[in-house]
């Protein structure tokens, strides 16, 4: 049996842009991608703390240390600039693997700069 377990999370990021005309995805500051141990094109769930929307998309790289958190394509309709969101990725593993696994969880400040590990 396999279960899905949180593998990484960026907590309370601030949406900096929403681009309906882009093909799709979430553009995330490269430094945050690395800190949260996300992979390019990895599926992520987005939880909009501001308005309650929940949806999935995939990760693309934004300029390092830019603070960029941009929802693209259809996902741009689910957010507004300034909204607080949670970006969560999951991994599939056995219950035994999950017992010994600790997800990477980071908190960012109002400028989407790494603040601390949770």
Candidates 25, 47, 80, 115; catalytic one: 25
Max CA distance (Å), the chain:
44
Instruction: Report phi then psi at 20, rounded to 5.
Output: -65, -30
Candidates 22, 47, 58, 115; catalytic one: 58
56 belongs to the catalytic site: no
| Nearest one of 67, 72, 70, 62 to 30, comparing CA atoms | 62
- Cα separation, 35 vs 8, in Å, equals 10
Cβ burial of 116 (10 Å; 0-12, 13-18, 19+) is exposed
41 belongs to the catalytic site: no
Instruction: Give the catalytic positions in this structure.
Output: 25, 58
């Amino acid at each position: 049996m396999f279960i899905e377990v949180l593998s990484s999370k960026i907590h309370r990021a601030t949406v900096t842009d929403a681009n309906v005309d882009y093909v799709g995805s979430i553009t995330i500051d490269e430094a945050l991608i690395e800190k949260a141990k996300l992979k390019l094109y990895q599926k992520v769930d987005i939880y909009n703390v501001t308005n309650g929307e929940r949806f999935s998309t995939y990760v693309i790289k934004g300029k390092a240390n830019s603070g960029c958190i941009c929802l693209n394509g259809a996902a741009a309709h689910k957010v507004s600039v300034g909204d607080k969101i949670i970006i969560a990725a999951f991994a599939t593993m056995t219950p035994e693997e999950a017992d010994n696994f600790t997800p990477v969880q980071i908190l960012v400040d109002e400028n989407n700069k790494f603040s601390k590990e949770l």
